[in-house]
Amino acid sequence: MNDTFLKACRGEKTDYTPIWMMRQAGRYLPEYQKVRANFTFLELCKTPELCVEVTLQPVDILGVDAAILFSDILIPMEAMGAPLYFHEGRGPIFPEPVRTREALDRLIVPDPELHTGFVMETIRLLRKELKVPLIGFSGAPFTLATYLIEGGSSKVFWETKKMMFTQPDLFHSLMEKITACTSLYLQAQARAGAQALQIFDSWAGVLAPCDFEEFALPYVQKIISDLKATGLPIIYFANNGATLLELSVQSGADVLGLDWRIDIGDAVKVVGNRAVQGNIDPFALMLPKDKLRQRIGNLLHGARNAHGHIFNLGHGIHQFTPPDQAKIAIDAVHELSANHKYR
């Protein structure tokens, strides 16, 4: 087992900087497209054998140092009783948004083995195949709530913030139920064999720091507190969250994921004795090879004083990224960090 990723999460000395990429199992890979062509997205997510195949693809093709479970953050929201479908052009759709107490009361806190057992089976199967650590994951409660309240993706989050500011009791009640669901879901992933857990707060950056502290952070803290008993490294990633980093440190996470909007050296100073993950702009993968290697070298140098560093993109890899460019980046991280020129 290549445990370099886990060592970096714990702040232990590593021979080189480990790397994986958010959305590394996905649309940019022709091998994924071949599998996806025969199934809807939800069918793929709910078929363990297929999830295993696409989870393994970037490990085998690109040589990343960790695998992340192929699934979607909204799977447990469907298990709560919120109808869900994926529109090819618009993304996830919840046709029955949760905007009233009645709608909230219809949601359940599901048994993760009973209602999302296919996820746990995928983890169990992957552990038999993988020679790198497996990352399980979930969405963070605030991000999940936005999808339920808005009925899908949003640019301005009108319905979400309207509920926050005009019906705070309802909003907090929804967050409590989502938090209970998410905590159980991640604990089940740990029991199934996940070796690290990442919490994605994709929309945290739409919040002012004071609102993040009141409406989002306490629920992340509750989940991470519940997960401490697993002994697994916990990664918290607040996208567009540079203004929230000092608060994110209070989440209790072992590793803080960083997007590209903050200098990694500045982030290291804020984070202190926690590891960091990130944070190259996903579009920087399109740079010519020499400039990409230079960008990677500069980032490794910026992270040289980190308690631990896992190299990653600042967000998911873009679907039109040539796989060869991703491979150049992965090889460069391994080479440049191993010779300690930039570390």
The arithmetic mean of pLDDT across residues 177-181, rounded, is: 98
Q: Is 101 a catalytic residue?
A: no
Candidates 23, 99, 293, 343; catalytic one: 23
Residue 324 CA to residue 317 CA, distance in Å, equals: 13
Q: Do the domain assignments include residue 171?
A: yes
Domain range for 273 is 4-338
Candidates 10, 27, 127, 295; catalytic one:
27
pLDDT of the residue at 343: 56
pLDDT of 107 reads 98
pLDDT in tens, 137-170: 999 999 999 999 999 999 999 999 999 999 999 9
Residue 13 lies in a domain: yes
Dihedral sign for Cα atoms in the order 122, 128, 131, 132:
positive
Residue 341: band (very low, low, confident or very high) from pLDDT cuts 50, 70, 90:
low
CATH assignment of the domain containing 305: 3.20.20.210
Among residues 16, 147, 185, 219, the one annotated as catalytic is 147
Q: Could you tell me which of 77, 70, 68 has the C-alpha nearest to residue 51?
A: 70
Residue 343 lies in a domain: no
DSSP H helical ranges for the chain: 4-9, 30-36, 41-45, 48-62, 75-79, 101-106, 112-115, 117-129, 141-150, 158-166, 168-192, 209-215, 217-227, 245-248, 264-271, 289-302, 323-338
Look up 147 and say whether it is catalytic: yes
Chain segment 248-294, per-residue pLDDT in tens = 999 999 999 999 999 999 999 999 999 999 999 999 999 999 999 99
Does 307 fall in a domain? Answer: yes
Specify the pLDDT at position 151.
97
Q: List, for residues 53-94, the tens digit of each pLDDT value.
A: 999 999 999 999 999 999 999 999 999 999 999 987 788 999
Domain count within the chain = 1
Model pLDDT, residue 89: 75
- 132 in any annotated domain: yes
Average pLDDT, the chain: 97
Examine the pLDDT at 35 and tell me if it is beyond 90. yes
Q: For the chain, what percent of residues have pLDDT higher than 70?
A: 99
- The rounded radius of gyration (Å) of the Cα atoms in the chain is 19
Q: What is the pTM of this model?
A: 0.97
Q: Quick check: is 274 catalytic?
A: no
Identify the CA nearest to 224 among candidates 258, 240, 201, 204.
201
Give the active site residue among 28, 32, 65, 72.
72
72 noted as active-site residue:
yes
Mean pLDDT, range 295-308, rounded to an integer: 97
Mean pLDDT in residue range 285-314: 98
Clarify whether 28 is annotated catalytic: no
Residue 119, pLDDT above cutoff 60:
yes
What pLDDT is stored for residue 339 in this prediction? Answer: 80
User: Considering the domain boundaries, does residue 241 fall inside one?
Assistant: yes
Tokens of 121: 């089976």
What pLDDT shows up at residue 245?
98
Confidence of residue 328 (pLDDT cuts 50, 70, 90): very high
- Contact yes or no for 284/295 (Cβ under 8 A): yes
Given the residues 3, 10, 36, 304, the one annotated as active site: 36
